[in-house]
Structure 1
Amino acid sequence: MVSVKQPANAETVAMRTDAYFNRTQHIVQHYGDKEVVYAVFLRRPVLSAPRLVLQWLDQIFAEEKIDATYYVAFQEGEWVGAGQPILYIKGSFAQLVVLETILLQKLGACCVAACNAFQMAQTLPEVDFIAMGARHCAGYEMQELVEYAAWVGTQAAQKKSGAKGFIGTASASTAKMFGLDAGMGTMPHALIGYAGSTVRAAEMFHEQFPQYQLGVLVDYFGREVTDGVKVCQRFPELAAQGKISLRLDTHGGRYLEGLDRQSSYALIMRHAPETLQRYCSEKELTDLTGMGVSAAAIWWMREKLDEAGFNKVKLIASSGFDVAKCRMIAEAKAPVDCIGTGSFIPTRWSETYATADIIAYNGQPLVKQGREFLINFARQYVPGL
């Protein structure tokens, strides 16, 4: 696990922090400093993912000669209950007060995304995941946060149940977190449009990158089965060796080639009837039998490839694979080998808001009303409370 060094100096922090923290620093410096203890927590259950924020604290403590100590209550990958502080920071109020904004930015999203990644890996333990959320991020700093989170969630799932989890990311910069030198992926739809056919795009890719698994998108022309089989027929040796992966990314406004609602229901009833023998929400029904990349679509593609003699060709699924969709894919026992997703990134950003409250001044416990529980938690981690 590696991290890009982030700017950590007083001028940068002052520019990026909330103005009222800067003004508070000025007031405290004028009227006299106090030693304080911060408790940092989220309001919902999460996995602890503090490494990037701790690296940043180490860096700024050293560069700005800040005399402070942090105490980690929940180690990386541990389950944290709602409202339980993940870490405590003890030191000079005048020095620490300006760090809160950036501190919270680097913790909240990581912990929620790690929780989502863990749940996805646990739900589909035999499936590989690729973190493809870079395009959904507001800049590289966010990308680093959430793709680190995918690694944390994976490590926790592997430790708990041996799940495969996330095996890499879409870009080289964060691939290093997973021990890789390059990003992972197949090909964009734009390449198939450029080539003029799915088979020709596969040929171009293989000619230029013969060392890579041949991963081919098959939905561009709406002929997932037809074009997928043609690619396999064009490269029979690769297909027989399991070196071809067909990626299903069918648009949510149509069914995969050869399917409709009725035939999709029939597929699920044949392979996993219990999923339709209980109440399902509209979203669950869509994930099972609806348009786009449903459980039925995965089953159909697998059946058609096997019928054509290509049982070693792998299936990659993408498009909206969040925790809930992964649960339905698992319940339907859909035979997917790999899932490419950015949907482990929290859907509701408000869930990622971390909070930092001061719980002691000069060794005397004190916190705003309603947050007294933070003091009780802290006593087992912070000396002198």
Structure 2
Amino acid sequence: MPDDALERQAGPDNSHNASEWPVREPDIVNWTDHYFLRTKKSVEKFGDVSAVYALFMRRPVISAPRLAIDWLNTIARKRGTEFEIDLRFEEGRWVGAGEPIMYVSGPLYHLVDLETLVLQKLGPTCVAAYNAFTMCSDLPKVGFLAMDARHCAGTEMAELMAYAASVGSQRAKRKAGAVGFIGNATDATAPYFGTDGGKGTMPHAFIGYAGSTLRAAEMYDEVFPDDPMTVLVDYFAREITDSLTVCRRFPERAANGQLAIRLDTAGSRFVETLDPPSSYAVLERNVPQAVRGYRNEAELRHLVGPGVSAAAIWKLREVLDNEGFSKVKIVGSSGFSPVKCRMIAEAQAPIDIVGTGSYLPSSWSETYATADIIEYDGEPRVKVGREFLLRK
């Protein structure tokens, strides 16, 4: 019976994850490009052939193919067929622009309607893995938390991004000796980071509920007395004052490394006590080379601008150390893209952990993977201009 003759159900099953969905034929039909469905029907009428697909990206990436391959193998089993996967770049390997990450061979009838869906599982992961690798390599002594789930367009994307961050992190550990990603925000994808569950202590909503930063810390300590505590200090625009207040209230936590301060200051204002002149002064005291020489506007903003800048991190470290709280860690979040991480690294900012969802590319078009058939029944054939995809 033709696949599209299977009885359709009421709609697609959205209770899925990236490596498993979709597996029902009606869902594959619903979510693939229609011209592939027409091609499949034509192949059914005029005769099947063996086809070889080349899957590639138009920009350099880190290979992160596992979810795409797992899905292809799952569909092959369900359809009672076999796909041969020639992976040219193992997981975690650097891939140049235009280089086929893998070749997939099999019956055209069973492959042609899978192109749309397999590309969705390949392109975004490879780009996100590249960005995660870059960030971890630029800040090798800093631990990263993947806090991207709230920025993702659904649970499938959240899994793709978590997997990608773990791949980029592993490469950074191998190549740069980096700490890399130490965890993420949700239980569902925690296994990608080798942890039992998500990490995190308090959002802004908890500070607002408590009514003050100190009261939020006291409430958290009462409910989770044995867990490390990271206190968010930007809610009332009193980053310096509230940081010191919390440290003085919990001297034992501060002394034994069980307390961290998280800066998440919005880009619309400076951290308490800072402005442009004082931000320059902070860096001049600690890392004068960071602000000497040419910097473009974006780079300067990360160094001495509003929000969680390098100057803000240095300022908080100065204040904590001067008050005897040298073991209190600093966590930074808010806009930690690869570019910002590079600037934070150049300023040698004393940050312990970065919480980021911004390793997702700012231009989503960069995540587009592409596939072309390069062989039909063993005969090399590809559209003009794509000859570089032919197997050598």
Give the letter aligned to residue 38 of structure 1.
Answer: Y
* Structure 2 counterpart of 1:269, from 284, 291, 307: 284
Instruction: State how 1:204-353 maps to structure 2 within 5 Å.
Output: 204-353=219-368
Instruction: State how 1:360-379 maps to structure 2 within 5 Å.
Output: 360-375=375-390, 378-379=391-392
Give the letter aligned to residue 56 of structure 1.
Answer: W
Give the letter aligned to residue 21 of structure 2.
Answer: Q
Instruction: State how 1:65-80 maps to structure 2 within 5 Å.
Output: 65-80=80-95
Give the distance between the partners of 1:107 and 1:171, measured in 2 at CA. Answer: 22
Query: 2:63 is matched with which residue?
Result: 48
Once superposed, which parts of structure 1, at least 4 consecutive aligned residues long, lie more than 2 Å away? Answer: 2-7
What is the aligned-residue RMSD (CA, Å)?
1.1
Query: 2:4 is matched with which residue?
Result: none
Query: 2:174 is matched with which residue?
Result: 159
Give the distance between the partners of 1:240 and 1:95, measured in 2 at CA. Answer: 62
Alpha-carbon offset, residue 213 of structure 1:
1.1
Contact 1:255 1:292 in 2 (8 A): yes
Alpha-carbon offset, residue 300 of structure 1:
0.2
Alpha-carbon offset, residue 5 of structure 1:
3.3
- In structure 2, relative to structure 1, the CA distance for the partners of 1:3 and 1:93 (3 Å cut) is closer
Give the distance between the partners of 2:358 and 2:226, measured in 1 at CA. Answer: 29
Alpha-carbon offset, residue 177 of structure 1:
1.0
* Structure 2 counterpart of 1:19, from 13, 31, 34: 34
Contact 2:73 2:83 in 1 (8 A): no
- Alpha-carbon displacement from aligned partner over 1:215-262 (angstroms, at most 9, x marks no partner): 110011111111111111111001000100100011111111111110
Give the letter aligned to residue 206 of structure 1.
Answer: D
* Structure 2 counterpart of 1:96, from 111, 120, 125: 111
Aligned to 1:185, the other structure's residue is in SS state coil
Contact 2:146 2:181 in 1 (8 A): yes
Alpha-carbon offset, residue 161 of structure 1:
1.9
Query: 1:147 is matched with which residue?
Result: 162
Alpha-carbon offset, residue 4 of structure 1:
5.8
Alpha-carbon offset, residue 3 of structure 1:
7.2
Contact 1:33 1:94 in 2 (8 A): yes
Contact 2:270 2:307 in 1 (8 A): yes
Query: 1:382 is matched with which residue?
Result: none
Bigger Cα displacement from structure 2, 273-282 vs 123-132: 273-282
Alpha-carbon offset, residue 51 of structure 1:
0.5
Give the distance between the partners of 1:349 and 1:281, measured in 2 at CA. Answer: 24
Give the distance between the partners of 2:187 and 2:362, measured in 1 at CA. Answer: 25
Query: 2:184 is matched with which residue?
Result: 169
* Structure 2 counterpart of 1:114, from 129, 135, 151: 129
Query: 1:123 is matched with which residue?
Result: 138
Give the distance between the partners of 2:205 and 2:60, measured in 1 at CA. Answer: 40
Q: Matched residues, percent identical?
A: 56
So what's the TM-score if we normalise by structure 2? 0.94
Alpha-carbon offset, residue 67 of structure 1:
2.6
Contact 2:18 2:157 in 1 (8 A): no
Contact 1:10 1:64 in 2 (8 A): no
Give the letter aligned to residue 334 of structure 1.
Answer: A
Contact 2:147 2:357 in 1 (8 A): yes
Contact 1:45 1:81 in 2 (8 A): yes
Aligned to 2:189, the other structure's residue is in SS state helix
Give the distance between the partners of 1:178 and 1:5, measured in 2 at CA. Answer: 19
Give the distance between the partners of 2:365 and 2:212, measured in 1 at CA. Answer: 43
- Alpha-carbon displacement from aligned partner over 1:116-137 (angstroms, at most 9, x marks no partner): 0000000000000000010110
- Alpha-carbon displacement from aligned partner over 1:8-29 (angstroms, at most 9, x marks no partner): 1322211110011011000010
Give the letter aligned to residue 109 of structure 1.
Answer: P
So what's the TM-score if we normalise by structure 1? 0.96
- Alpha-carbon displacement from aligned partner over 1:263-307 (angstroms, at most 9, x marks no partner): 100111221212221110111111000111000000000000111
Aligned to 1:135, the other structure's residue is in SS state helix
- In structure 2, relative to structure 1, the CA distance for the partners of 1:84 and 1:4 (3 Å cut) is closer
Give the distance between the partners of 2:74 and 2:226, measured in 1 at CA. Answer: 40
Aligned to 1:39, the other structure's residue is in SS state strand
Give the letter aligned to residue 91 of structure 1.
Answer: G
Alpha-carbon offset, residue 186 of structure 1:
2.9
Aligned to 1:71, the other structure's residue is in SS state strand
Give the distance between the partners of 1:13 and 1:43, measured in 2 at CA. Answer: 26
Alpha-carbon offset, residue 89 of structure 1:
0.6
Give the distance between the partners of 2:59 and 2:348, measured in 1 at CA. Answer: 30
Contact 1:71 1:87 in 2 (8 A): yes
Give the distance between the partners of 1:79 and 1:4, measured in 2 at CA. Answer: 22
Contact 1:104 1:353 in 2 (8 A): yes
Give the distance between the partners of 1:276 and 1:255, measured in 2 at CA. Answer: 18
Gaps of 5+ in 2: 1-16
Give the distance between the partners of 1:271 and 1:88, measured in 2 at CA. Answer: 52
* Structure 1 counterpart of 2:199, from 161, 176, 184: 184
Give the letter aligned to residue 54 of structure 1.
Answer: I
Query: 2:21 is matched with which residue?
Result: 6
Give the distance between the partners of 2:59 and 2:226, measured in 1 at CA. Answer: 44
